[in-house]
Amino acid sequence: MRRLAPSLLVALALLAACGGTDDGAADAGGPTALEIALWPAGEGQGTAVLATLTCDPAGGDLPDPAAACAALAAEADALEPVGPDIACTEIYGGPEQARITGTLAGARVDASLGRGNGCEIDRWERLRPLLPAYEPVPL
């Protein structure tokens, strides 16, 4: 996975602190265009639920693209994987997995999400507005 440059994260944080644009887009240097794939039963298990998101202006086929762009501006750091030195609770949140690819403010994004422990569940919840609607698999 390619990491976002620290300067991009700072720019996105400043944009979020200033209120962003009218639609909540994270436009700090280029376009935001993302493709999201979500597997309710885990990656490779069944059919993926697919969605797209663009910001500035907010668009795509998520239920609320403006809210997704605002969440992205506020929570861009949740696209980063959990560091190896972070202690996470051993809580299993479900088999769901997602992959977000494309560009965020012109920077390449390739993020994988899951619900395998407390840290991953936190990332999932922070980015929930970017995820397409799906039927959860019963635990």
Q: Please list the pLDDT of the chain residue by residue as tens digits (139 residues).
A: 334 444 444 344 434 433 344 344 444 578 999 999 999 998 888 889 999 999 989 999 999 999 999 999 999 999 999 999 999 999 999 999 999 999 999 999 999 999 999 999 999 999 999 999 887 766 6
Does a structural domain hold residue 68?
yes
User: What pLDDT score was predicted for residue 54?
Assistant: 97
Residue 102, beta-bridge partner list = 34, 109
What's the pLDDT at 136?
Answer: 75
pLDDT score at 72: 93
Report yes or no on 19 lying in a domain: yes
Q: In what order do the strands lie in the sheet with 97-104?
A: 59-60, 49-55, 32-39, 97-104, 107-114
The domain of 62 spans 6-81+88-130
Angle between helices 65-75 and 6-17 (to 10 degrees): 120
Helical (H) or strand (E) element with 29:
none
- Provide the pLDDT for residue 28: 54
Is residue 35 assigned to a domain?
Answer: yes
Q: Considering the domain boundaries, does residue 61 fall inside one?
A: yes
Can you give the pTM of this predicted structure? 0.76
Residue 18: give its domain's CATH number. Answer: 3.30.350.10
Provide the domain count of the chain.
Answer: 1
* pLDDT for residue 6: 44
